[in-house]
Amino acid sequence: MKAIVSHDIDHLTLSEHYFQDLIVPKFFVRSKIELLTGKISLAEFFYRIGDVFKNQWQHIEELHVFNQKHDVPTTYFIGVNKGVGLSYSTAQSAFWIKKMIEMGCDVGAHGIEFETFEKINKEYSLFKDLSQQNTFGTRMHYIRTNDHTFTNMAKAGYLFDSSEMAFKAPFKIDTMWEFPFQIMDSYIIEKPKQWQSKNFFQSCEETKKIIDKAVDLNLPYLGIDFHDRYFSHSHKTWKDWYMWLIEYLAENKVEFVNFKMAVKALESK
């Protein structure tokens, strides 16, 4: 089994939300709940307050350095449309797409449009223009889909998608590869609540069960989704959990590949 690690970029700054949505006030309510229930420390809470003054909710470069150090090729999914709490501008997207490609990252679209071919195709074309890439993949924000989303994404021209959370091997939809994933940070650390419900040890134990199940099912790829925002002192459990996960897989001789590497391997069979 090989591991495919990817990162969803849902936020870049706090200020992008001020007149767009209620993400920031909800964040403070959530942080207070986590502090009062003992899930985060006072120091961690103050780091979160500090993020307000730094106006930073992304940790792309720090996460990239860690991944490089551990030989983990990853894919970053960044949006080019607004919706469902994703509120940064197209100009911000363009800046980071260019920067990440220059850093040597694989970059795909974090899709907002999932309902019709026309909207999906328009979003695909916009991302293609901004990234100047001929081939790239996608993951839908909040993994929203309908009965036609996958076929419409394939029709638009996406090389791959990873919007299905399931214990399945990759499969093809027309010319597009679908890579189901099994591990997402928020599902591990938050569920069944809307805020942190597990500590570091509990999160690791829950993750081991998922990995063991993937091994038992003989899945060729283990899909992992970690949001770059949480690679921070402001979210200690999340950061520690991700670092532990990468080191745990490496210790167990699991090879890391990104989606394009996996597509190439599958196409060569």
pLDDT digits (tens, 9 = 90+) for 143-169: 999 999 999 999 999 999 999 999 999
Q: Is the pLDDT of residue 269 over 90?
A: no
The per-residue pLDDT of the chain, averaged, comes to: 97
Read off the pLDDT of each residue in 57-84 and give the average, rounded to a whole number: 98
CATH number (domain holding residue 35): 3.20.20.370
* SS3 track for the chain: CEEEEEEEECCCCCHHHCCCCCHHHHHHHHHHHHHHCCCCCHHHHHHHHHHHHHCCCCCHHHHHHHHHHCCCCCEEEECCCCECCECCCHHHHHHHHHHHHHHCCEEEEEECCCCCHHHHHHHHHHHHHHHCCCCCCEEEHHHCCCCCHHHHHHHHCCCEECCCECCCCCEEECCEEECCECEEHHHHHCCCCCCCCCCHHHHHHHHHHHHHHHHHCCCCEEEEECCHHHCCHHHHHHHHHHHHHHHHHHHCCCEEECHHHHHHHHHCC
Place 209 in a pLDDT band, splitting at 50, 70 and 90: very high
Q: Is residue 65 scored above 90 in pLDDT?
A: yes
Mean pLDDT of 102-109: 97
Rounded mean pLDDT of 255-268?
97
pLDDT band at 231 (very low <50, low <70, confident <90, very high): very high
Q: Which amino acid is at 28?
A: F
For the residues 38-49, what does the mean pLDDT come to? 96
Residues of the domain holding 156: 2-267
Average pLDDT over residues 33-50: 96
Number of domains in the chain: 1
Q: What pLDDT is attached to residue 255?
A: 98
State residue 76's pLDDT score: 98
**Average pLDDT for residues 90-95, to the nearest whole number?**
98
Per-residue pLDDT, 138: 98
Give the pLDDT mean for 111-132.
98
Q: Above pLDDT 70, what percent of the chain?
A: 100
Give the mean pLDDT of 202-226. 98
